[in-house]
Amino acid sequence: MIADWRERWGQGDFPFYYVQIAPFLYGGDTGQAAELREAQTMALAVPNTGMAVTMDIGDPTNIHPKNKQEVGRRLALWALSGTYGRDGIEVSGPLYKSMKVEHGAIRLSFDHAELGLVARDSGPLTHFTIAGADHKFYDATARIDGKTVIVSSAHVPEPVAVRYAWGAADQPNLSNRAGLPAPSFRTDDWRRE
């Protein structure tokens, strides 16, 4: 769509900033909402794009988040930095970058975490699951270690994959110190079973 609009309007790679879908209780959802959010995150690879994440300000019973002011502020951060060239503005929450298996746990690294990571509500991190080679996910314990997150579960002694906020209505709490939330993500590419 972005490429099509840019071609039709003949304005080059003009800025394209968008809002990721918010958590919502879709009836019978078995991963489609998380996969759509994943596709929206992948669109950040398109040049001159930006995405406002709303995982923390949605309402699982209302598909349209009421806090439009915060959505607009997050879009404005992308515009101020990307379009108007203002320096020193953090535009995004933590974006999953890589993982490393360490001693029965998985360490996750992120972009947009230069100043560190926080749990938005100062509690323990929520909505992390972990799986072994059998593809069975279990609720996991996750803790911040500087600019990384370490995820583990006693049910998965040899982990190979982590998912974060993979439920349609999940409202997780991982943010960076700029107060911007992480979108849902997964480290695997397994098909829905």
Please report, for the chain, the start and end positions of each structural domain, with discontinuous segments joined by +: 2-83, 95-186
- The pLDDT, as a whole number, for residue 28 is 77
Low pLDDT (below 70) residues in the chain: 193
76-83: long-range pairs with CB below 8 Å, 24+: 77/180, 78/15, 78/17, 78/50, 78/51, 78/52, 79/15, 79/17, 79/50, 82/15, 82/17, 82/48, 82/50, 83/15
Please list, residue by residue across 74-110, b when 16 or more beta carbons sit within 10 angstroms of its beta carbon and e when fewer do. bbbbbeebbeeeeeeebbbbbbbeebeeeeebbbbeb
- The pLDDT, as a whole number, for residue 43 is 97
Contact 43, 78 (CB under 8 A): no
**CA count, 13 A, side-chain hemisphere, 7:** 4
**Radius of gyration over alpha carbons of the chain, in Å?**
17
Label residue 152 exposed, middle or buried (CB < 10 Å: 0-12, 13-18, 19+): buried
- The pLDDT, as a whole number, for residue 31 is 82
Paired residues of 76 in beta bridges = none
Structure pTM? 0.94
